[in-house]
Amino acid sequence: MINGELTKPFEAAKGLRQGDPISPFLFAIAMEYLSRLLRGLKHRKEYRYHPRCGKLDITHLSFADDLLLFARGDCKSITTLHACFMQFSAASGLLANLNKSAIYFGGVAQDTKQEILQKTGYSLGELPFKYLGIPLDTKKLTAMQWQPLIDRIVAKITSWTARKLSYAGRIQLVQTVIFGIQSYWSQIFIIPAKVMSLIESYCRSYIWSGANTITKRALIAWDRMCLPKSAGGYNLLNIKIWNRAAISKTYWDLAKKKDRMWAKWIHTYYIKGQRIMEMDIPQQASWMVRKIIEAREIMQQLPTAYLNQSSIKQIYLGMLGNHSKVTWRTLMFHNEARPKARFTMWMQCHGRLMTADRLANWGIQISTRCCLCNEADESPTHLFCECSFTKAVWGRLMQWLRIQVSPNHTYTQMMAWITTQAKGKSCAARVMKMVYAEHIYGIWRERNSRIFEEISRTTEQVAREVPCVCNVRAQGGMRAKLQQLMF
């Protein structure tokens, strides 16, 4: 009966559809059955372990729907193993996809290989193959094999080039690329230095030129941008150092956590009770195993305080080392100005904005006159401190905030005064940081629009934009305080 009306009788049926929430559980139960069947193999004299698996009783590894089966490379062992899997197939209805399955041989004679392939019907596989999406090989992956990763990153950057974004906007997008690389390390942890340099170059070029090709132009060096904010950096992740940290972490797990299966395996077959700090690197081991053991040298260079760190992040911070702090660091913390204003202020603090004096040094022909006042040559000191236009805007802003400011600051005195005012997290300090960043941005934008678009605004117009932005962006108590002030 449907909707109160009689219908034709229908058959009840049982079955499983893709996407059914219970299917992973059923799958796990089925795989448990397979595991038990395979574990039974060790009592069969026809089956012999893979030579690197016997001591740990490994017959198979499986995760989700990926399955690796191991056996000694002789016909009898393989056919016994295969029969065991077929028994599972017949009972569960789960079949191996022949197109996605292959046999990988190591040190097996040619005629034995042929016989095994013929009897089982699988194809001959070649390394590297993917397990859980990661390419596995006994050798170092070639540059070619890393190309897909590079291609993906370039494609991502290319998709952004159509958009006109500020430097700050581009930095945010680049951070998503870097984050992707970082999460890659949770699966695979050694990316060759060359590949990383290439990734860095693409990211750097995109930030500074907005293009998807590698250019040399960078106003601030990449390594500097990767420093913590307190050291004048932009806190980007230094992926080369992160890589080394990730390898060290793996080495540390190998040295300390002997209960993990992979660690147990390396200990059983290669370390064999030797002291890992002093043993010879086993030459017959795979590239990856050798690299992990070689990481002991990185660990020796680390300060002892970092030796017991269990996270990659902590080791990374240790490797980043101590850097001298910049005096204006307080401006970079708890600053609620717009990202593009913060970035412009950051560049101004580094003295890296392309003012006329710097362009002239680069041999670029441009009028060196300050376009805001027309009274002097343009330099950072003039533009952001001495210029009568800038002084008028800043004076107007300080009048709005009811703060007394002495008119005769030098550039250094001005920066020192701002940093003192902006120190800490108090409401007044946060207002000062935000207003200063937006002020610098306003001056820089006015300068650019006069040069490139020939549009001029008055000091009053430039100043007015700052309270407008600040009123919108300020949070909580700070907003209430700002709203009490009349511009």
Closest approach, Cβ 387 to Zn ion, in A, equals 3
Closest approach, Cβ 389 to Zn ion, in A, equals 6
When the beta carbons of 227 and 371 are compared against Zn ion, the nearer one is 371
Closest approach, Cβ 444 to Zn ion, in A, equals 13
Q: 287 with 139: CB under 8 angstroms? A: yes
372 touches Zn ion (CB under 5 A): yes
Consecutive H or E run containing 129: strand 129-131
Q: Which of 305, 281, 308 is nearest to 295 (CA)?
A: 281
Closest approach, Cβ 155 to Zn ion, in A, equals 45
Q: 224 with 236: CB under 8 angstroms? A: no
222 contact partners, CB below 8 Å, separation of at least 6: 200, 203, 204, 236
Kindly tell me which residue out of 226, 370, 385, 401 binds Zn ion, with binding defined by CB under 5 A: 370
393 touches Zn ion (CB under 5 A): no
Closest approach, Cβ 368 to Zn ion, in A, equals 11
When the beta carbons of 280 and 454 are compared against Zn ion, the nearer one is 454
Applying CB under 5 A, the site for Zn ion has a residue count of 4
Closest approach, Cβ 397 to Zn ion, in A, equals 17
- Window contacting Zn ion (CB under 5 A); options: 250-258, 293-301, 352-360, 369-377: 369-377
Touching Zn ion, residues 298-317 (CB under 5 A): none
Parallel, antiparallel or unpaired: strands 66-69 and 102-103: unpaired
Kindly tell me which residue out of 174, 387, 397, 474 binds Zn ion, with binding defined by CB under 5 A: 387
Helix boundaries (H) for 257-311:
261-266, 287-294, 296-301
When the beta carbons of 140 and 445 are compared against Zn ion, the nearer one is 445
When the beta carbons of 337 and 387 are compared against Zn ion, the nearer one is 387
- Window contacting Zn ion (CB under 5 A); options: 58-66, 144-152, 307-315, 368-376: 368-376
Task: Give the distance between the most distant pair of CA atoms in the chain.
Answer: 97
- Window contacting Zn ion (CB under 5 A); options: 33-41, 136-144, 370-378, 446-454: 370-378
When the beta carbons of 200 and 446 are compared against Zn ion, the nearer one is 446
When the beta carbons of 119 and 369 are compared against Zn ion, the nearer one is 369
In one-letter notation, the amino acid at residue 447 is R
Cα–Cα distance measured from residue 60 to residue 33, given in angstroms and rounded to the nearest whole number: 13
Q: Is 20 helix (H, G, I), strand (E, B) or coil?
A: coil
Closest approach, Cβ 374 to Zn ion, in A, equals 7
When the beta carbons of 387 and 415 are compared against Zn ion, the nearer one is 387
353 touches Zn ion (CB under 5 A): no
- Window contacting Zn ion (CB under 5 A); options: 4-12, 349-357, 373-381, 458-466: 373-381
- Window contacting Zn ion (CB under 5 A); options: 103-111, 133-141, 385-393, 409-417: 385-393
Closest approach, Cβ 236 to Zn ion, in A, equals 33
DSSP secondary structure, 349-391, as one string: HHT-S--HHHHHHTT-----B-TTTSSSB--HHIIIII-HHHH
Q: Is the dihedral of CA 84, 88, 89, 90 positive or negative?
A: positive
Consecutive H or E run containing 198: helix 193-209
Closest approach, Cβ 447 to Zn ion, in A, equals 9
- Window contacting Zn ion (CB under 5 A); options: 118-126, 143-151, 176-184, 366-374: 366-374
User: At what angle are helices 239-256 and 167-184 packed, to 10 degrees?
Assistant: 20
Parallel, antiparallel or unpaired: strands 129-131 and 123-124: unpaired
When the beta carbons of 371 and 437 are compared against Zn ion, the nearer one is 371
Closest approach, Cβ 369 to Zn ion, in A, equals 8
Cα–Cα distance measured from residue 166 to residue 428, given in angstroms and rounded to the nearest whole number: 28
Closest approach, Cβ 197 to Zn ion, in A, equals 41
Kindly tell me which residue out of 136, 211, 373, 416 binds Zn ion, with binding defined by CB under 5 A: 373
When the beta carbons of 291 and 391 are compared against Zn ion, the nearer one is 391
Q: Is 196 helix (H, G, I), strand (E, B) or coil?
A: helix
When the beta carbons of 212 and 388 are compared against Zn ion, the nearer one is 388
Token pair belonging to 181: 């690389």
82 contact partners, CB below 8 Å, separation of at least 6: 119, 120
Closest approach, Cβ 409 to Zn ion, in A, equals 15
When the beta carbons of 372 and 463 are compared against Zn ion, the nearer one is 372
Q: 334 with 321: CB under 8 angstroms? A: no
334 contact partners, CB below 8 Å, separation of at least 6: 425, 429, 430, 433
Q: Which of 246, 241, 243, 247 is nearest to 222 (CA)?
A: 241
What is the contact surface with Zn ion in residues (CB under 5 A)?
A: 370, 372-373, 387
